Structure 1
Amino acid sequence: MSHLDNERLKQVLFLLIIAFLSIVLFRELYVLFPGFLGAVTFYVLSRNYMFRLVENRKWKKSWAATLIMVLSFLIILLPIGMLINMLTAKVSYAITHSSDLIKGLQSINAQLQESMGVNLMTPDRLSKLQEYITNVLPAFVGATFNTLTAVAIMYFILYFMLVNAREMEEALYEYIPLKDENVELLGKEMKNMVVSNAIGIPLIALIQGVISLVGYLIFGVPEPVFWFVVTCFTAMLPIIGAAAVYVPMGIYLLSSGQTWQGIAVLAYGFGVVGTADNLFRMLLARKIGDVHPLITIFGVIVGVNLLGFIGLIFGPLLISLLIVLMKIYSNEYLVKKREVKVVRTAHSKEKKMKQTGE
């Protein structure tokens, strides 16, 4: 075995040991993964403000990090937490009054069957729905607790990332086994996809929720603020989006005899809310970048299964990161391989031409 082969074998064994330890640590620390993703997201969004406070205004690192964390909590997490708390309260009420909920659905189904001849709730479906409510909805409350835990972990990690920002970035720049231009590309793409996923998706959902709230208030929908919260969350779902709220709501109003309100809610939903979604998505795409619908669909599926509710945001982020890494891999290795192939082809042609000339 040559010296070069021996060195390659040592390198492969060393990489296998690193991969093995990484897998073991990830499995044991998986519970911290949502918090870590959240810390990375907030770090990308706030790093420039941290550098301005520390390097331009000469603040202490601990004070600057604390200020950024407090502001992010008050501006972003506190309003979201209040919305989730409102939704959780309604879910808890639904759990404790599941029998009343089933009776209400039976009454709506009877009205639909009488007025439209549609039977949506057979006894078998009702029993399955009741079983689903008693089994799944408590898990939703548990997911809220898990989200609070993830937030606490996120801020714990974020503090040290902000305080050691320059040192951390320099270490990553040095130890990531990529060419300098690909490390810079990774940082740029990471920032773009964080802004697109962590700001673009929730912002569009909030806009749809506000526009829907206006309609709920105009058409006299009961508990409009609660349905505004539900609309904000369903608007983050791919394909269905806010229609998951205003379509059943319109059908319910029609079945309960409120014909003009039901028609108005459906027309407003499809005409105004749906148009606003497309319009603002197009406008925001120019400013902060857009997320491909397929990335959103598969990202939500993967994210919710892996991370729970918080996966609505971080699922698309993970898929976007995978695509960026594939792009960098292509730039790092495949381009070099193609260049070598081109050089070899040129040498081969040159050799054949010399042989032919001889």
Structure 2
Amino acid sequence: MAVYAVGMAVSGSHDALGQQCREESAPRRWQRTMVLVREINARLCDGGDDTRRQRPVRAAQDRASRARPHEVLVRHTAVGLNFLDVYHRSGLYPWAVERDLIPGSEAAGRVVAVGDGVEDVRPGDRVAYTHPLGAYATARVITADRLVPIPEGISDEEAACLMLKGLTAKHFIHSTFRVEAGMSVLVHAASGGGLLLGEWLAAKGATAIGTAGGPEKTELARAHGYAHVIDYRAEDFVSRVREITDSRGVHMVYDSVGRDTWRGSLDYLRTRGAFVNFGQASGLIEDFTIAALGKGSFTAAARSCSTASPTPPNCAGAPQTYSPACSRDASRRGSGSDIP
């Protein structure tokens, strides 16, 4: 297979699918989203029936023969799939030039060639990275300062699905608002990317409270560090949080659901608590105002992929930083499943 990006091989009919995803209820949107992710990955693997729609980009190997200074050619061995990819594909997160979109924000692979001035990696090294867009490709050229060496004992697949989600969790717990032992923290959608957060929060001595939909997902969250898991399909999560915290509320909330949960998230924050939004699974947050924070002197933040992505020196040793706190199962289940 030629070294061309194939992330946009699924097109045409999926433009309509993306519109339906934005208009339907959250559960139905999630089902359609998973169909879209699997379709994109299937085309990534074998080209599928829409190969004719692939827009050839400059072949990475050709470019490597005249590699620019401080750049590295990486041949991918594993690419992480994230809900973020669907946001880009559906148009919820727009890109500058539509036809240039290549989804994918994390991957792992081997260094094939390096440009002048590259000293930290060399051909044959295993590396991983997170970078806004461009990972749905057989290979890519990327600046050397985005790459993190993969330590022995961590597979390419684990590294690929740990970079974006793991660094996001690290950013939340250590930088956005620092979590300390004894704090209570609530995480929406705990059985997805929240698995990493659950284990890390527990390792720091915080009480992790999660929400999830259905018995299977709640049990999965309980197995990954959550002291309490609320089934939002069967329980009122606001009243349950008050019960769990003896009406004191939680110190902070990590909310990737968005429109359907942000008001409730503020309702169970304790005074001077923190609200962090990092996704819109149910739709964009609407009617939010600074005044909404006044009732409890709350603080709010919105996490950005670009600001949480690793840049030297804060990416140095990234896999070692979070792998001791998080199990291999959480790192792989955090992305939903492995797709060949």
Q: TM-score range by the shorter chain?
A: under 0.3
Greater radius of gyration (CA): 1
Instruction: Pick the structure with more strand per residue.
Output: 2
TM-score normalised by length of structure 1: 0.22
Instruction: Pick the structure with more helix per residue.
Output: 1
TM-score normalised by length of structure 2: 0.23
